[in-house]
């Protein structure tokens, strides 16, 4: 196992167009104190949903195959795939069982362990379950779950093979685990994580940029300061990792690899007077202060960027639409009239996908919901929506929650594993 102690060959070049000058920035790991991991009282006293009245939901988030919701009492609800403990109920869907050889060791009656085999236990969660309290913000990202409390403390659980949770280990976590304090915002690909702290510094956890799979950080690495939000950006077609940063002065910086070896990265000014930034699978978006949205990335043949035309990949930011007040993770905008805008082909199913938890599994004969090449209203009176890959969740202005998409692991919260092509309202009460 190779654990990175420094950003090898990782050169930053600041090329701000406003100043017209470039500055090389050194990047050395800086830790923000040791993560405390001290158990805190974050679990509610009542975990039986039947004893809890229907909650008023104020936020929702969709990961790879699991889902989260936050109610107005600060309770975190989670459900879906639990292979890495990402639901947070103290269980895992799978475990490893020893595989013995036919030869016996000197100790009679015991076999020699030559490998392990994967065994499945049905610990997936098919309806919403409370897993934590005292929360203020939730982020389901990949096979990881992140929560920021009202006191700006960060908790995380789920997949952690590249130290992406930030607890200093590479062990998966099945329960909320304290990571650090003074946290403002989180984004994660499921393998690497960005943390914006309350002092507006930006930190990296987990897998390093580039193609070295075993190159990762177990301690936070300082990337930049003066940041209010940051998201990962794969819109440049070089899968070495990039960032989109919204600074405190509302200037957006794009941070990109300059070649396929990721030996150098460049910061350049992407936009001024920005109100927000967001990402989808490989697309990134900027919301201007006047409600216009700009995007870049693959547009494909289905309008996956939300742009008209037949250009397959757009490398520069172009206008997408206007009259928007919110942009969110995935291909969703909220219009000024509270309608939910969606576009492109939304996948519902996958014929083959490799091992569960493997993002690179094969995908053939996929079913889609087709929304069109440009942002189109699909729901009304919506407060927010989320979903990057195969399932989606929306929250209306009255606190009702709707899900649709793939449901192989109960991630829609409907109590079954049937896919849904239309938004379906779900309940948070177990009868």
CATH number at residue 72: 2.130.10.30
Distance (Å, whole) CA 163 – CA 400: 35
| Token code pair at residue 13 | 């070049």
Q: Is residue 200 part of a domain?
A: yes
Intervals of the chain under pLDDT 50: 1-47, 95-97, 99-118, 211, 260-263, 351-364, 431
Tell whether 274 is covered by a domain. yes
pLDDT of amino acid 207: 84
Helix (H, G, I), strand (E, B) or coil at 51: helix
Among residues 183, 185, 190, 179, which one has the least CA distance to residue 357?
190
The C-alpha R_g of the chain, in whole angstroms, comes to 22
Q: Count up the domains in the chain and report the number.
A: 1
- 50 three-class SS: helix
Residue 1 located in a structural domain: no
Domain contains 430? no
Residue 431 in any domain: the answer is no
Query: Which residue is it, tokens 């519902």?
Result: 348
Q: Can you give the pLDDT at residue 41?
A: 47
User: 175 in a domain, yes or no?
Assistant: yes
Backbone angles phi, psi at 402, to 5 degrees: -125, 140
**pTM as predicted:** 0.80
- Find out whether 299 and 48 touch, Cβ atoms under 8 Å: no
Identify the pLDDT of residue 11: 30
Q: What is the pLDDT of residue 235?
A: 79
Q: Which of 247, 231, 356, 248 is nearest to 297 (CA)?
A: 231
> Is 3 part of any domain?
no
Q: Could you tell me the residue range of the domain that residue 359 belongs to?
A: 11-425
Asked if residue 6 is part of any domain, the answer here is no
Distance in angstroms (rounded) separating the CA atoms of residues 224 and 253:
11
pLDDT value at position 36?
39
Any idea which residue has 């990057």 for tokens? 388
User: Residue 150: its pLDDT value, please?
Assistant: 96
């Amino acid at each position: 196992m190779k654990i990175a102690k420094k950003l090898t060959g990782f050169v930053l070049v600041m090329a701000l167009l406003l100043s017209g000058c470039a500055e090389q920035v050194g990047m050395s790991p800086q830790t923000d104190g040791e993560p405390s991991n001290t158990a805190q009282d974050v679990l509610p006293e009542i975990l039986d949903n039947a004893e809890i009245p229907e909650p008023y939901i104020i936020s929702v988030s969709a990961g790879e195959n699991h889902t989260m919701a936050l109610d107005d009492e600060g309770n975190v609800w989670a459900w879906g795939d639990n292979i890495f403990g990402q639901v947070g109920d103290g269980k895992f869907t799978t475990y490893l069982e020893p595989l013995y050889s036919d030869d016996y060791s000197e100790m009679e009656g015991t076999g020699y362990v030559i490998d392990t085999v994967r065994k499945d236990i049905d610990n997936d969660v098919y309806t919403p379950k409370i897993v934590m309290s005292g929360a203020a913000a939730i982020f389901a990202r990949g096979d990881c779950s992140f929560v920021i409390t009202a006191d700006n403390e960060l908790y995380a659980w789920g997949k952690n093979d590249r130290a992406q949770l930030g607890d200093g280990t590479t062990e998966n976590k099945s329960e909320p685990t304290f990571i650090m304090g003074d946290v403002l915002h989180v984004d994660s690909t499921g393998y690497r994580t960005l943390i914006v702290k309350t002092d507006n510094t930006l930190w990296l956890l987990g897998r390093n940029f580039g193609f070295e799979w075993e190159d990762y950080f177990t301690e936070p690495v300082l990337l930049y300061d003066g940041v209010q939000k940051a998201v990962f950006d794969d819109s440049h077609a070089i899968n070495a990792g990039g960032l989109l940063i919204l600074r405190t002065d509302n200037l957006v910086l794009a941070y990109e690899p300059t070649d396929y070896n990721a030996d150098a990265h460049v910061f350049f000014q992407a936009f001024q007077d920005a109100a927000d930034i967001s990402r989808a699978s490989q697309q990134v978006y900027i919301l201007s202060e006047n409600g216009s949205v700009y995007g870049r990335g693959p547009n494909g043949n289905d309008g996956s960027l939300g742009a008209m035309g037949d250009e397959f990949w757009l490398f520069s930011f172009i206008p997408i639409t206007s009259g928007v007040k919110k942009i969110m993770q995935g291909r969703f905008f909220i219009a000024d009239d509270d309608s939910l805008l969606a576009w492109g082909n939304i996948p519902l199913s996958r014929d083959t996908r490799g091992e569960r938890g493997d993002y690179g599994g094969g995908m053939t004969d996929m079913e889609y919901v087709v929304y069109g090449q440009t942002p189109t209203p699909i729901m009304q009176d919506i407060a927010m929506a989320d979903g990057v890959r195969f399932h989606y969740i929306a929250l209306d202005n009255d606190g009702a929650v709707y899900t649709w998409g793939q449901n192989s692991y109960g991630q829609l919260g409907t109590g079954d594993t049937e896919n849904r092509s239309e938004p379906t309202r779900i309940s948070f009460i177990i009868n």
